[in-house]
Amino acid sequence: MAEDPLIRVRGLVKSFQGVRALDGVDFEVARGEVVVVIGQSGSGKSTLIRCLNGLVEPDDGEILVGGTAVDTHSQREWRLLRQRIGMVFQDYSLFPHLTVLRNITLAPIRTGRASPAEAEALARELLARVLLPEKADAYPGELSGGQQQRVAIARALAMRPEVMLFDEPTSALDPETIQEVLDLMRSLARDGMTMVIVSHEMGFAREVADRVVFIDRGRVVETGPPVAIFRDAREERTRAFLAKIL
């Protein structure tokens, strides 16, 4: 019997003031898989990824993590799940009053995952991994956007998540720093991290994704390996979107 997908979503519906952002989305992510979600602004892709860690509460539908249904109304349940699901935001959202090191050690210490010494050792290891070992004592405001985003990724990794969600991680960056963040994400993918990435970086999607999901008007229009989507999309809407963006 095949292993349960790490995340499975069925019939997800979410409306904001009468507008359907998600209109019955089915979606799944296998362990170790890299899924890139593409689609126009307002297509529902950010809403989808935010539903996956409970930042948005769906109106209807099911979310299963590791085969277990999530009570999407229970903040307590989400809080525990979020310790297994890392999230990286478009605007990095580092805590500006804390040093880089404290940004990374905060959650592992405060959720009881690690002692302060363990958390600091792990944080320094992760800072080396994101190529910022010398920035431990810097404040976020002293870093470039790309560096801040790499710290944000390290902060999420410090909880040793089973899956990482990326909500347009390079959209707020200068062109010259986008690459350093994408390189880091590439190396995470190589190491087998399960990743769901909302992105406009089509080159990156083509190269790194195991599967691409195209969303339009709150529905999954088409999903498949990058080659299939980028070269031979079956759906007219997918082809129209790609023609515009590529």
What are the residues binding other proteins (CB under 8 A)? 53-55, 75, 78-80, 82-83, 85-87, 89, 91, 93-99, 106-107, 110-111, 139-142, 155-156, 159
**Measured distance CA(128)–CA(136) in Å, rounded:** 10
Per DSSP, what are the bridge partners of residue 214? 38, 222
Residue from 233, 219, 229 nearest 27 by CA:
219
For 146, residues 6+ apart whose C-beta sits below 8 A from its C-beta are 173, 174, 176, 177, 178, 180, 181
H helices of 83-139, in order, are 100-110, 116-129
Shorter beta-carbon distance to other proteins: residue 166 or 204: 166
Shorter beta-carbon distance to other proteins: residue 26 or 139: 139
**Measured distance CA(211)–CA(24) in Å, rounded:** 20
Nearest distance from C-beta of residue 106 to other proteins, angstroms = 7
Nearest distance from C-beta of residue 163 to other proteins, angstroms = 12
Shorter beta-carbon distance to other proteins: residue 44 or 108: 108
Nearest distance from C-beta of residue 148 to other proteins, angstroms = 11
Residue from 2, 21, 10, 35 nearest 199 by CA:
35
Shorter beta-carbon distance to other proteins: residue 50 or 211: 50
Nearest distance from C-beta of residue 199 to other proteins, angstroms = 18
| Lookup: tokens for 174 | 């200068």
Residue from 222, 161, 217 nearest 47 by CA:
217
Nearest distance from C-beta of residue 246 to other proteins, angstroms = 31
Shorter beta-carbon distance to other proteins: residue 13 or 106: 106
